[in-house]
Structure 1
Amino acid sequence: MKIISKYIFAAACFSLLSCGGGGGGGGESEGENPVAAILISPINNSECLSGQNVSDTQSKITFEWNASDFTDAYSVYVKNLNTQLTTQYEAGAGTTLDVTLPKSTPFSWWVISKSTASSQTAISEKRKFYNAGDGVVNYAPFPAEAIAPGNSSSVPGPTVNFQWSGSDVDNDIVEYKLYLDTNNNPSTLKGTTSTQNLNDIPVSGNTTYYWKVVTKDQSGNTSDSPIFQFKAL
């Protein structure tokens, strides 16, 4: 029995040495990747009434999100949906950020989580809101966003199906108009619909097209989408 015990003890020691990280193997691995932040405020597709008045034309909005795991810092992106200009703000390790914005203007926003221990980043959902304007009762719809054809994509003809997403703070959209042309300022109306798609629109092969959607609500307010581009094959 003593001989057997010696063999068991030797095997156990060998196992511990093998599992114990001894020596110049693989070095330290990259840390955990950051997790996407959960947005709190402003609420999606809402009128933001909580802004602090700065002037007749501007107010200060507080952006807020939940802290995310494995994250050292956050970048906040705010996009003016009228001008399509996106501005990046650095929030450090905090979970709130004050930004002064023009009133009566639609915006989208999102947060990117970053970590010094990882080269990866994580992006939150994207939200849209209207910065409240003085005395505004009804807001224009948010500019429509392209779903298909994707911007700068190539699609087969001889017909194309168009799809987009639209939303409105007041939830009173009545129609969408689709404009399509071979110049970058599309003005040819291809159809009017209460849905978010128009199908079987004829196109010519080997041609670049530009399209946009104009959204209209019950009060007659309208918004133009950005101009999207695709190539018909």
Structure 2
Amino acid sequence: MKIISRILIPFVLVSCGGGDSGGDGNPNPDPVPAPQAATLIFPDNNEECNEGENISGEESRVTFRWNASQNTDSYTVNLRNLNTNASSQASATTNEADVTIQRGTPYEWFVVSRASGTSETATSATWRFYNQGPGLENYAPFPALAVNPARGSTINASGMLTLEWEGNDVDDDIVEYEVFFGTDSNPETLLATTAETTQEVAVTTSQVYYWRVLTRDSQGNTSQSEIFEFRIE
């Protein structure tokens, strides 16, 4: 008797698709380009804002405008009341936004550009303006801004150091600055009264210093800067 043996060979289905890509979409899509920073238009920097709809004696509605930026889907307008330091925001999908703000009040503003599909953002320059108020003929100066040393910086210096700040006023009538300086976190020591925007101070190593500037105009209006700090290595 002739015996015939059989060998069973398993049949394997092989996919030519190279694996599941989760659908017909591109498994490696191109990254979303980062948005670009907007360029501010209005309200103008260091100027009086006299455009807007007066809602009451205390508030007006102002249209903030900026140039549309590339790769951007939406914008966030950031405002800070320079009298109270209170911050607020407004969102927009175009290059303008109507915002209700206090009259007779100084503000700081900037715009953040955003794009769908990426967490990256871009921030515009920061501008300051005074929103026109009833009966105001002369505006208080804007609070001074630290130029040098930069706020929160650590620098290598000893002996004498030059403080530098920026002062602005809608009426362009600043007459003097009072500079307060020291190692206390709320400096109360009057270092100098000057018409300049620089002042030399004595510093030592391994010390943190704090300073602030009071700005005065020809009408006796004043503004107080934030407290700036820096560290000497």
Cα displacement (A) at 1:186: 1.4
| 1:116 correspondence with 2:94 | no
Partner of 2:18: none
Aligned to 1:182: 183
1:97 — aligned with what? 97
Residue 139 of structure 1 corresponds to which residue in structure 2?
139
Distance 1:131 1:194 in 2: 26
2:135 maps to a residue whose letter is G
Residue in 1 that maps onto 2:207 = 207
**CA-to-aligned-CA distance 1:136-165 (integer Å, 9 cap, x gap):** 001011000111122222233232210111
Instruction: Look up the match of 1:106.
Output: 106
Task: Find the aligned partners of 1:146 and 1:85 in 2 and give their Cα distance.
Answer: 20
Percent identity between the aligned chains?
43
- 5 Å matches for 1:62-81? 62-81=63-82
SS at match of 2:196: coil
Match of 2:229 in 1: 229
Q: What corresponds to 1:31 in structure 2?
A: 32
**Which structure would you say has the larger Rg?**
2
- 1:48-87 residue CA offsets vs partner (Å, 9 max, x unmatched): 1112222222222211112222110001100111222322
Q: How large is the RMSD of aligned CA atoms in angstroms?
A: 1.8
- 5+ residue gaps in structure 2? 1-25
What CA distance in whole angstroms lies between the structure 2 residues aligned with 1:79 and 1:111? 12
The one-letter code sitting in structure 1 at the alignment partner of 2:230 is: F
How many Å separate the matches in 1 of 2:158 and 2:86? 33
Q: TM-score, normalised by structure 2?
A: 0.82
Report the Cα distance in structure 2 between the residues aligned to 1:64 and 1:116, rounded to whole angstroms: 22
Aligned to 1:128: 128
Render the CA deviation track for 1:169-202: whole Å, top value 9, x for unaligned: 1111121221112222212111222221112x11
What are the equivalent positions in structure 2 for 1:41-52 lying under 5 Å apart?
41-52=42-53
Partner of 1:177: helix, strand, or coil? strand
Question: Which of the pair is proportionally richer in helix?
Answer: 1
Q: How many angstroms apart in 1 are the aligned matches of 2:210 and 2:46?
A: 27
Count of aligned residue pairs for this structure pair = 207
Partner deviation per Cα, 1:89-121 (whole Å, 9 max, x = no partner): 222x12221222112111011111111143321
Q: Distance in 1 between matches of 2:36 and 2:149?
A: 31
Runs of 5+ in structure 1 lacking a partner? 1-24
- Separation in 2, partners of 1:195, 1:181: 20
Segment drifting more, 123-132 vs 26-35:
26-35
Give the TM-score normalised by structure 1.
Answer: 0.82
Separation (CA, whole Å) in 1 of partners of 2:188 and 2:50: 36
